[in-house]
Amino acid sequence: MSKLVLVRHGESLWNKLNIFTGWVDVPLSERGVKEALEAGELLKDYKFDVIFTSELVRAIQTVMLIMSKNSSGVPRIIHDEGRMKKWGEVYGEHGKNYIPVYKAWQLNERYYGKLQGWNKNYAREVYGEEQVLLWRRSYDIAPPGGESLKDTAERTIPYFRGKIIPELEKGKNVLVSAHGNSLRSIVMHIEGLTKEQVLKLNIPTGVPLIYEYREGKLERIGYLTRKGFDTDLHID
Ligand SMILES: O=C(O)[C@@H](CO)OP(=O)(O)O
């Protein structure tokens, strides 16, 4: 039996300022750093064999802060090409003693198009509360020039099935660091949520969501909190 741990990055500087972020590459806020360290503390005895992160710095920071508390091994970013790949090779015994970290644009946040950089309250004033809620949480309504959750799922799910599930099948424990909406699309897929349910699904920042992979199926264990497992997905 292997484990899948999904984590949404800690609060970013733009989460804090209530600004649509999408693919804008902004870092964690101080609170986000604390959230990531706290997630690391809760996961400190988990053994990870492979790590996947989006290419955005807030997800990479989160996973590295988590791993700074973890004793499974040293995380090492695997680069695909060019000098980064060649000159990053490891020789000798430490060539084996690391946890590979794969960065994938497919796990990036939903592309928010023309809304990137807009304050969410300002967007509500201009377009109305209901329209903005549909852009943020509906399944198939895309924000202007951006991706709907369905569009996001068209890149996250093939990656999840093609790269992440095979690791679980090999019996590996997997950590995935990604974003509010890219994770909503993955959780929708795992849990078989309807469009109506996903509208109400909000994944909290920095709280690990744990699954166990058994006989081809992912079984939810729950959110790992300081008080133990919260088995509810909180679709309210
Ligand atoms: O700004 C964003 O990119 C996302 C995630 O933080 O926002 P929302 O929660 O509105 O989808």
61-83 tens-digit pLDDT = 999 999 999 989 999 999 988 99
Cα(97)–Cα(95) distance, rounded to whole angstroms?
A: 6
How much is the ipTM here? 0.95
- Catalytic residue flag (residue 89): no
**Ligand 1 atom with the shortest distance to the CA of 15:** 6
For ligand 1, whether the C-beta of 15 sits within 6 Å is yes
Residue 236, pLDDT above cutoff 80: no
Q: Supply the pLDDT for residue 77.
A: 96
Tens of pLDDT, residues 207-222 = 999 999 999 999 999 9
Do residues 91 and 98 lie in contact, with contact meaning Cβ atoms separated by under 8 Å?
no
For ligand 1, whether the C-beta of 136 sits within 6 Å is yes
Domains of the chain: 2-230 (3.40.50.1240)
Closest CA to ligand 1's atom 10: 136
Q: How far is the CA of 205 from the centre of ligand 1 (A)?
A: 11
